[in-house]
Chain A
Amino acid sequence: MPVETQASDVTHHYLRVKKSFPHVWCAGCGIGTVMGSIIRAVDSLGLEKDQIALVSGIGCSSRLPVYLDFNTLHTTHGRALAFATGVKVARPDMKVIVVTGDGDGLAIGGNHFIHACRRNIDITTILVNNKIYGMTGGQVSPATPHNAYATTAPYGNVEKNFDPTSLAKAAGASYVARGTVYHVNQLDKMIKGGLEKKGFAMVEAISNCHTYYGRLNKEGDAVNMLKWMKENAVPARAAKNMSPEKLEGKFLTGVLWDVDLPEFCDEYQKLVDRLQKG
């Protein structure tokens, strides 16, 4: 029986249609949109499938690589960036992409996150932020806002949340951007920008977990959560001319940081060249 799909030809070309579907995500989940953005970014750059290593940890977003026809590595919880560091160092010619979530990348994997930024190793990281642990059933994460509800914060979150973009910038990343699964064209471009950047690139993709976050916080279904993104995202450029009162409760999107810094694999190659010459 032919496999039916609604995906465009471009998307279809990159999916492991016969092998790994149906996928594990809830209907309406934003992670599928992120997957589409990764595909379009890769396709627009004309990269070969063989040249891409896609690495992830554990969680809903970390199930993404299995669906794509690249070299895919689904690792242990929080450790995707450390595994990816080994892959990149062994194969500096490959494009290494990491897909992680807010729990995987910022809690258990927080240390690897800041050190990958510091090393400025040429890896493009897409951090899917749905503000909650989805796979284990809606527990509080380092991205869950203060006072928001989760199954392990039944009376509201007493902690405050991380801003992954500020963290990445402060830790030494070359390219930092934030988009949402509502602003899809922009997300495509940011991921493309990250892939083009020589150095560590971090794209935070704000996504919807209506199954847990939406339900527990009365934010409604997937469509309502996308509307929230539409209404509260403020382009970073526009924000410069806005008053603090107007920015209350909003979040900034766009390329927030873009600099050229020495990259780890390049620097190590220089060392090898120097030692082997001498």
Chain B
Amino acid sequence: MSENNKPVRRLMQGNEACAQGAIYAGCRFFGGYPITPSTEVAEGLSRLLPKYGGRFIQMEDEIGSIAAVIGASVGGKKAMTATSGPGFSLMQENIGYAYMAEVPCVIIDVQRGGPSTGLPTKISQSDTMQARYGPHGDYTSITVAPASVRECFEQTVKAFNFSERFRTPVTVLSDEVLGHMREMMYVPQEGELDVTIRQKPDVPHEWYHHFEITPSLVSPMASFGEGYRYNITGLIHDPEGFPTANPVQIKDKLDKLRNKIMRFTDEIYQLDVDGTEDANITLISYGMAARACRQAVQMAREKRIKCGMIRPITIWPLAEEQIREHLAHSKRALVVELNMGQLVHEIERIAPRSCKVFSLNRYDGEVLNPVEVYKRLLEVK
């Protein structure tokens, strides 16, 4: 990205970092619809994509946006969209289609308060569960939650890598403050971050099955126009892509959607863990909320409180075993979220019996400050 290959430091906004990260990852199609607070991602890519030979299209709504993204991915492009709560809700049916049809794509959700039109210009983390369970039906989803501008870049690249590796849609959960915040960051150089490309078939046309259940469970993906003619449908289908009502094939398909991800979680989990080995109390937080927690942990340690912290960067699937192990020493866990309590229910389920789970929730559109996290920590310790 730099001309003389020296590290480039740049003041960048979170949304801009997502756009730059997408280009770095090889994204060459963006379909989207303007919505606060995500619009800078679309604006950035409308400038960047044509310069890289890519395509930007502003669709007529969010439903059409994600549909075009899926179509472009089927056509062989790495493709993405960016939106916020109301748009994310509108996209859900077609995101479900992408799970079913196993089409790689990336959705950046720059969260705002909800429900409904909610708080367009205020922070929230209330789409945590929508990212996991948005579309109807059974499937397993991958979601990452960056907490800095640099991570917006890196996690957008990761999201593309996961989507290409596992042939599945991947959500990046950003938020209004992170998206609009500016930070100094080193722009990753070419070759610095891994970039994954979907596996292509190496068999003749007659042998190719677009949804073949392979040992790795992820089927090689031919694009339209590459000589492998196949059918894609949102109906439950057999390995060739034709609709089926056969109970064995139905179960095989749904098992595949789960297992192709859950058998390879080692590649997917990203946990940022600090000082849980001897902690009496552990803070668990993600995204912007985790930034206030980090400072609260320092404040607690200065008062000789043994305090640890776990920050899942990959929030779906949640690294349950690892989190349970990290909580083995803690008597207390404090889950800090900018919502009325979403991830906390998962932590309650997975925490060891020796660890009591508390929560701190802020949902008034304001960011958390470290002092209120620290105060809550003193209350529950």
**A residues with CB within 8 A of B:** 16, 19-20, 49-51, 53, 55, 65-66, 69-76, 79, 82-91, 93-94, 111-112, 115, 268, 271-272, 275-276
Say yes or no: is B60 at the interface (Cβ < 8 Å to chain A): yes
Q: Within the complex, what minimum Cβ distance (angstroms) separates A112 from chain B?
A: 5
Q: Within the complex, what minimum Cβ distance (angstroms) separates A264 from chain B?
A: 8
Say yes or no: is B332 at the interface (Cβ < 8 Å to chain A): no
Residues of A within 8 A of B53 (CB): 272, 276
A74 and B50 within 8 A (CB): no
Residues of A within 8 A of B76 (CB): 90-91
Residues of B within 8 A of A275 (CB): 50-51
25 examples of A-B residue contacts, CB within 8 angstroms: A19-B242, A50-B226, A50-B229, A72-B230, A74-B234, A75-B234, A76-B67, A76-B93, A76-B94, A79-B63, A82-B67, A83-B67, A85-B31, A86-B31, A87-B72, A87-B75, A87-B224, A88-B71, A88-B75, A89-B29, A90-B79, A90-B224, A111-B60, A271-B50, A272-B50
For the complex, what is the distance from the CA of A86 to the CA of B103, rounded to whole Å? 13
Residues of A within 8 A of B223 (CB): 90-91
For the complex, what is the distance from the CA of A79 to the CA of B95, rounded to whole Å? 13
Residues of A within 8 A of B83 (CB): none
For the complex, what is the distance from the CA of A89 to the CA of B230, rounded to whole Å? 20
A51 and B225 within 8 A (CB): yes
For the complex, what is the distance from the CA of A83 to the CA of B72, rounded to whole Å? 8
B63 and A86 within 8 A (CB): no
B75 and A76 within 8 A (CB): no
A90 and B233 within 8 A (CB): no
Quick one: which of A50, A85, A90 has the most chain B CB within 10 A? A90
Residue of B nearest to A77 (CB): B93
Residues of B within 8 A of A19 (CB): 240, 242
Q: Within the complex, what minimum Cβ distance (angstroms) separates B360 from chain A?
A: 39
Residues of B within 8 A of A271 (CB): 50
Residue of B nearest to A55 (CB): B71
Contact A73-B232, Cβ < 8 Å, known A20-B242, A84-B71, A268-B50: yes
Residues of A within 8 A of B67 (CB): 75-76, 79, 82-83, 85-86, 112
**B residues with CB within 8 A of A:** 29, 31, 50-51, 53, 55, 57, 59-61, 63-65, 67-77, 79, 93-94, 97, 223-227, 229-235, 240, 242-243
For the complex, what is the distance from the CA of A76 to the CA of B93, rounded to whole Å? 8
B225 and A93 within 8 A (CB): yes
A71 and B224 within 8 A (CB): yes
A66 and B225 within 8 A (CB): no
Q: Which of B51, B70, B227, B232 contacts A74 (CB 8 A)?
A: B232
Residues of B within 8 A of A79 (CB): 63-64, 67, 94
Contact A85-B233, Cβ < 8 Å, known A19-B240, A79-B94, A276-B51: no
A90 and B71 within 8 A (CB): yes
Residues of B within 8 A of A75 (CB): 67, 70, 97, 234
Residues of B within 8 A of A65 (CB): 231
Extra 5 A-B pairs, beta carbons < 8 Å, given A71-B225, A72-B232, A73-B232: A66-B231, A72-B230, A86-B31, A86-B75, A275-B50
A90 and B64 within 8 A (CB): no
Residues of B within 8 A of A84 (CB): 71
Q: Which of A53, A88, A89, A115 contacts B64 (CB 8 A)?
A: A115
A87 and B233 within 8 A (CB): no
